[in-house]
Amino acid sequence: MDVVVELDNGLFGIAEDLDELPMEGEMIDCWVDDGLNVVYQTQKVLRVLS
């Protein structure tokens, strides 16, 4: 499944092909739009949105 997450840096990310929902505080690999580029990063989850 793919989920949208709010990250602890104030941005939002899309995590793809997950078997289970990430937990708050967990580090995950996700796609992040930083305003200039869309990059694949490891970030800390603040909360899961969908």
Distance CA 29, CA 7 (A): 11
For residue 6, the surrounding DSSP H or E stretch is strand 3-7
Tokens 């602890």 map to which residue? 8
The torsion region of residue 26 among left (phi > 0), alpha (psi -120 to 50) and beta comes to: beta
Residue carrying structure tokens 């909360």: 47
Q: What is the pLDDT along the chain (50 residues), one digit of tens a residue?
A: 999 999 999 999 999 999 999 999 999 999 999 889 999 999 999 999 98
pLDDT of residue 50: 81
